[in-house]
Amino acid sequence: MKEDVMIEVKGMERTFNLGEVEVKALRGIDLVVKKGEFLVILGPSGSGKSTLLNCLGGIDSPTNGTINVEGEDIGNYKEKQLSGYRRNKVGWIFQFFNLIPSLTAVENVALALEMAHDKRDMMKRSQEALDLVGIPDKANMFPSQLSGGEQQRVAIARALVKKPDIVLADEPTGNLDWVTGQKIADLMRDLNQKEQTTFIVVSHDISITEVADRVLYLMDGNFSQKQHREPRSKKVMKEC
Ligand SMILES: Nc1ncnc2c1ncn2[C@@H]1O[C@H](COP(=O)(O)OP(=O)(O)OP(=O)(O)O)[C@@H](O)[C@H]1O
Ligand SMILES: [Mg+2]
């Protein structure tokens, strides 16, 4: 395993058995993600994007194949190690933000630290995470008092407050208008560069590819070689 590799997936399959019917959601995925990379995976509905992220995040397990994270096969983890991996190594961002409505913005962020049993300077660090995502003044607001873009910023702060090595984002701009979606994509890219956090973003939203280091296309449970498209940032760099 090379030192700059964060995740290496080999031959990953995930099959769901629904009685008589078998759904092959992932069909032999091979993937190497570098440390600090911003990878975007595009694919149509049902292509296996969420299943792939769930397996990478340790909340589902492949039927076949291996997932190595910094050289460790997470399939060999005992339950305690796996829950440590889920809590400390990985941060999640979702389409519908998944904030707790009865907690303020700063309390929503702090909850991630509480769950990770990492309560040192909890409120201070949570406020700093809100500063980082550009909403320092919204700490005491409830989710219902925030716009969609602001709620997603709280969710990003919640994902990053634990300083995870990997952020997994499932349609992070899917519930936002185009302009707000662009701002959230730019923010994630900015945080990826500032914190050197590895981002894996799955989406239908083609505009998010503009901030990617690399774009892959998932079709029917595997990567499609044909449709690879270079992100705009790379093209601009070439033109300079
Ligand atoms: N827990 C499950 N039980 C049974 N089938 C499942 C389960 N999770 C996913 N699937 C099936 O696996 C396939 C891939 O689903 P997945 O949710 O990964 O797709 P997706 O690319 O994330 O789609 P979308 O863009 O709509 O979110 C689908 O056919 C889906 O019905
Ligand atoms: Mg999905």
Give the residue whose CA is nearest to atom 1 of ligand 1: 16
User: Residue 239 is inside which H or E element, if any?
Assistant: helix 232-239
| Cα angle 179-53-216, degrees, rounded to a multiple of 5 | 65
Domain limits of the chain? 5-239
Cα 45 to ligand 1 centroid, rounded to whole Å: 8
Task: Kindly give the interhelix angle for 148-160 and 105-115, rounded to the nearest 10 degrees.
Answer: 30
Tens-place pLDDT, residues 1-40: 577 999 999 999 999 999 999 999 999 999 999 999 999 9
| 235: confidence class by pLDDT, cuts 50, 70, 90 | very low
Ligand 1 nearest atom to the CA of residue 48, by list position: 18
Output Rg (C-alpha) for the chain, integer angstroms. Answer: 18
Ligand 1-lining residues (CB < 6 angstroms): 16, 18, 23, 25, 43, 45-51
| 154: confidence class by pLDDT, cuts 50, 70, 90 | very high
Tens-place pLDDT, residues 181-228: 999 999 999 999 998 999 999 998 898 999 999 999 999 999 997 555
Mean pLDDT of the chain: 92
| pLDDT value at 76 more than 70 | yes
Give the residue whose CA is nearest to atom 31 of ligand 1: 46
H helix intervals, 40-177? 49-56, 79-84, 105-115, 122-132, 148-160
Give the residue whose CA is nearest to atom 12 of ligand 1: 25
> In angstroms, how far apart are the furthest CA atoms of the chain?
57
Distance, in Å, from the CA atom of 38 to the CA atom of 60, rounded to the nearest integer, reads: 22
Distance, in Å, from the CA atom of 157 to the CA atom of 164, rounded to the nearest integer, reads: 11
| pLDDT value at 240 more than 50 | no
Q: Are 213 and 231 in contact (CB under 8 A)?
A: yes
Distance, in Å, from the CA atom of 203 to the CA atom of 44, rounded to the nearest integer, reads: 9
Cα 148 to ligand 2 centroid, rounded to whole Å: 19
Cα 136 to ligand 2 centroid, rounded to whole Å: 31
> Could you name the CATH architecture of 5-239?
3-Layer(aba) Sandwich (3.40)
Please indicate, yes or no, whether the overall pTM of this predicted structure exceeds 0.75: yes
